[in-house]
Amino acid sequence: MAVSDHVDLPTFMEGVKKRNPYQPEFVQAVQEVAEDIFEFIEDKEEYHAQQILRRIAEPDRVVSFRVCWEDDNGNVRVQRGWRVQNNNAIGPYKGGIRFHPSVTESVLKFLAFEQTFKNALTGLPMGGGKGGSNFNPKGKSVREIMRFCQSFMTELYRHIGADIDVPAGDIGVGGREIGFMFGQYKRITNNFTGVLTGKGLEWGGSLIRTEATGYGAVYFLANMLATKGEDLVGKTAVISGSGNVATHAAEKIVQLGGKVLTLSDSGGFIHDPDGLDQEKINWVKSHKTHRRGRIEEYVEAFPNATFHAGKTPWGVPCYLALPCATQNELLGDDARTLIANGCKGVSEGANMPTDLDGVHVFKAAKILYAPGKASNAGGVAVSGLEMSQNSERRSWKEDELQQMLKDIMAGIHQSCLAYGDQGGGYIDYVKGANIAGFKKVADAMLAFGVV
Ligand code: GLU
């Protein structure tokens, strides 16, 4: 009989580090999950014998390709493109596409790994994937972005499909870019199919997809607060980012009676002591999305606010914090500052915004802390609903979708409680999310044997 590979956590992580040199983000994401999973599978021999975690932490495939395009001055430009197909045990690969100069294989592998657990948590049949490029959309003309998207899709189209892998947006990829990529997919294949989500409403998109990630992160926060008999009314919130996730999280907090004090971008953060109302949020949406401006200009429009160049907003005293910008934007010391200032709830709108040190600080302080794979799952959940509508060839109504989003976020919260309740009123949402997501994928993998 074969001897099972029942290694301990440090030995497992040593192997992950050795097999993935120079991929710190990927190693970090695996470590955060493995810390909880090793405890959970301690007495579950089959997961060890079948090496389930080791298999989930090895993408099914990583497709890497060259993307050539021509800029407006006629120069030939060369970028790198990837699609990481991490795991399709419970459904087609599903996850966004990111265009940002910080994109590397490590970043996309961590995102695809996280996406696998997140998508499982939604309860919808979606596997995990992620793609992107180190292309920097900042300062590019619309025509340049179009040519880049077309070139990117000219390679990507052969690896995706409505029942194979369904990409969507992420940082640097919104409705406009999805449009350019969908147009090129259709042009190459002559196939009008639900191969991408985040589409425009006229061509197969779903209502509330744009709002879903930010709204979902606030619904999750409201569910967490309810376990303490609290709600959002009168609570102060510090938010980072000023894109789609951050502005919609701000909007929902305001709708539920909370007070949003900050937003940020790569240049720094704005602090508005009066709080952002819907008019100010609309200004930010149009300033960032249509005019592609800097958050710094907020203080010219609303002079009571201050701009803090080169800084993150975590030093502003608050009851709630929502990191909605990018990975590793909230470090251990930021977490310590938040706790010292009385922060009681953190809901991650971005993917892995808190570094490992910060995660350990929040866990030790036993505050309400939701990891992105639970709290930001609303976006991909509505993407899943978009896929269903595309298969049915019909569009659901807004109030139906709003209710489905709320129900899905409440369901994820329940799953976290099922595996994260530590007794004494403390819920470890990181542990709950990791175990609930893992279990679903792992049990499907067990059914398939060694493949
Ligand atoms: N990029 C989003 C995420 O991180 C959405 C992915 C999708 O809708 O497929 O979950």
- Check if the beta carbon of residue 25 is closer than 8 Å to that of residue 107: yes
- Is the CB of 435 within 6 Å of ligand 1? no
Question: In ligand 1, which atom is closest to the CA atom of 94?
Answer: 9
pLDDT of 5: 57
Chain segment 254-313, per-residue pLDDT in tens? 999 999 999 999 999 999 999 999 999 999 999 998 778 999 999 999 999 999 999 999
Mean pLDDT of 325-335: 98
Probe ligand 1: pick from 213, 380, 385, 388, max atoms within 8 Å of CB?
380
Q: Which of 1-5, 132-136, 375-379 is predicted with the least confidence, judged by mean pLDDT?
A: 1-5
- Is the CB of 137 within 6 Å of ligand 1? no
pLDDT of 6: 76
Atom 10 in ligand 1: residue holding the nearest Cα:
380
- Is the CB of 100 within 6 Å of ligand 1? no
DSSP 199-262: --GGGT--TTHHHHHHHHHHHHHHHHHHTTT--STT-EEEEE--SHHHHHHHHHHHHTT-EEEE
Tokens 């997501």 belong to 437
Mean pLDDT of 201-219: 98
Residue 1 predicted with pLDDT over 90: no
Ligand 1 center from residue 373 Cα (angstroms): 10
- Is the CB of 349 within 6 Å of ligand 1? no
Mean pLDDT of 320-324: 98
Q: Mark residue 122 as left, alpha or beta (left: phi above 0; alpha: psi -120 to 50; beta: remaining).
A: alpha
DSSP 373-416: HHHTTHHHHHHHHHHHHHHHT----HHHHHHHHHHHHHHHHHHH
Its pTM stands at: 0.97
Ligand 1 center from residue 208 Cα (angstroms): 14
Mean pLDDT of 386-403: 98
- Is the CB of 437 within 6 Å of ligand 1? no
pLDDT of 2: 44
Residue 187 predicted with pLDDT over 90: yes
Q: Can you list the domains of the chain with their CATH numbers?
A: 1-57+433-451 (1.10.285.10), 61-193 (3.40.50.10860), 211-375 (3.40.50.720)
pLDDT of 427: 98
Ligand 1 center from residue 349 Cα (angstroms): 11
Atom 9 in ligand 1: residue holding the nearest Cα:
95
Ligand 1 center from residue 168 Cα (angstroms): 6
Ligand 1 center from residue 379 Cα (angstroms): 6
Question: In ligand 1, which atom is closest to the CA atom of 167?
Answer: 9
pLDDT of 425: 95
Residues marked as catalytic: 130
Ligand 1 center from residue 50 Cα (angstroms): 29
- Mean pLDDT of all residues belonging to the chain: 97
No. of helices (H) and no. of strands (E), the chain: 17, 12
Mean pLDDT of 368-395: 98
Mean pLDDT of 57-68: 98
Question: In ligand 1, which atom is closest to the CA atom of 166?
Answer: 9
- Check if the beta carbon of residue 82 is closer than 8 Å to that of residue 63: yes
- Pairing status of strand 165-168 against strand 236-240: unpaired
